[in-house]
Amino acid sequence: MPLRINIDGRILPANRARIPVLDRGFLYGDSVYEVLRTYGGRLFAEPQHLRRLEHSAAALAIDLPSRAWLRRQIRRTMAAAREAESYVRVIVTRGVGPLTLDPTSARRPCTVIVAKALESFPAAAYRRGIRVHIPAIRRNAREALDPAVKSGNYLNSVLALGAARRAGCDDALMLDERGRVTEATSANVFAVLRGTLCTPPLDAGILEGVTRGLVLRLAAADGLRCAERHLRPADLLRASEVLLTSTLREVMPVVGIDRGVVADGRPGPVARRLRGLLAAHAGMRPRAAAPGRRKG
């Protein structure tokens, strides 16, 4: 089934969807966005994603449409795409303006919603784990372009991922200017250290991942000790497990960091357990779809 794109309430196939060249999202990355997914055909953690979109938009002083309108349009777009499991991207740009950086020059934000089939990560990545590269490029400083704001300007991550690919790795783990671990290019990072599930605190300069929050909650409820603490690359190399979390990856084990090997180089039981807990949580929500429609 084809991808469907909703522009300000008008739903179009991908080959007919157009954004003006003078849209500031195109010119400057002057936009905010969220990526949501479904489980069993139902949107997962929608309130958390829309809340974060509101937080990002407020930080950039971009006016958002109402939450009710966004919810309605997301559903319309998903219905038009008619996928069993959907990937949904919501983008709000500051809109069209003259060729000036001045953000007050654009007055009408533009909302774009993309709905398409959800593509799962290869099963082998979960079975074998992935390798990450620590690139020379540092994570944007909070004082420069706060990673807690999910803006359309992802060049920092794009460059880091490019470096990771050139190094033959699957993703990049970015450090801050003091050499502390922040996050991957589009995922949060955890390490199991002496039996404690550790992840950098929000003041490390990271996106407050929806999955990160949920994993912390599910792990604690499962009896695992959790801590938000600053981590250095050496901590990850002496960890018994390292893992990434995101809406699309869920819980992904990391088995190598550049030339270093994490523990015995194989995914460990905590990553497996957390992925299972997350799947159970997603599948057990009160209004989950009828059995049979759910994947994996």
Residue 199 binds ligand PLP (CB under 6 A): no
Q: Which of 247, 256, 271, 278 binds ligand PLP (CB under 6 A)?
A: 247
Nearer to ligand PLP, 129 or 209 (CB): 209
CB of 212 to ligand PLP, least distance (A): 6
Residue 95 gets which letter from DSSP? -
Residue 212 binds ligand PLP (CB under 6 A): yes
Nearer to ligand PLP, 73 or 151 (CB): 151
Residue 35 binds ligand PLP (CB under 6 A): yes
Nearer to ligand PLP, 96 or 114 (CB): 114
Q: Which of 81, 210, 262, 270 binds ligand PLP (CB under 6 A)?
A: 210
Three-class SS of 114-168: EEEECCCCCHHHHHHCEEEECCCCCCCCHHHHCCCCCECCCHHHHHHHHHHHHCC
Site mask for ligand PLP (CB under 6 A), range 130-159, x = bound: ---------------------------x--
Burial class (CB in 10 A: 0-12, 13-18, 19+), 17: middle
Strand pairing of 196-199 and 42-43? unpaired
Three-class SS of 218-232: HHHHCCCEEEECCCC
Q: Which of 187, 254, 257, 282 binds ligand PLP (CB under 6 A)?
A: 187
Nearest to 7 by CA among 116, 152, 110, 115: 110
